[in-house]
Amino acid sequence: MFRKANPTDDKLIAQRAIIADEKGYADVALDAYSELIDRKVPYSNIVLEKRAKIYLKNDDYSRASKDMEEAKKLDPNSQKIKNTSIEIDSKIKENKNEIKNLIDVGAVSHAKGKLDIADRLIQNGNFHQANR
Helix axes 10-23, 44-57, angle to 10 degrees: 20
pLDDT at 48: 97
**Average pLDDT along the chain:** 90
Q: Quick one: which of 23, 83, 98, 91 has its CA closest to 55? A: 91
pLDDT band at 115, cuts 50/70/90?
confident
pLDDT tens digits for range 11-57: 999 999 999 999 999 999 999 999 999 999 999 999 999 999 999 99
CB 21 within 8 A of CB 29: yes
pLDDT band at 8, cuts 50/70/90?
low
pLDDT at 5: 47
pLDDT tens digits for range 74-107: 999 999 999 999 999 999 999 999 989 888 888 7
Q: What is the dihedral of CA 121, 33, 15, 82, to 10 degrees?
A: 70
pLDDT at 6: 52
Q: Quick one: which of 53, 45, 48 has its CA closest to 21? A: 53
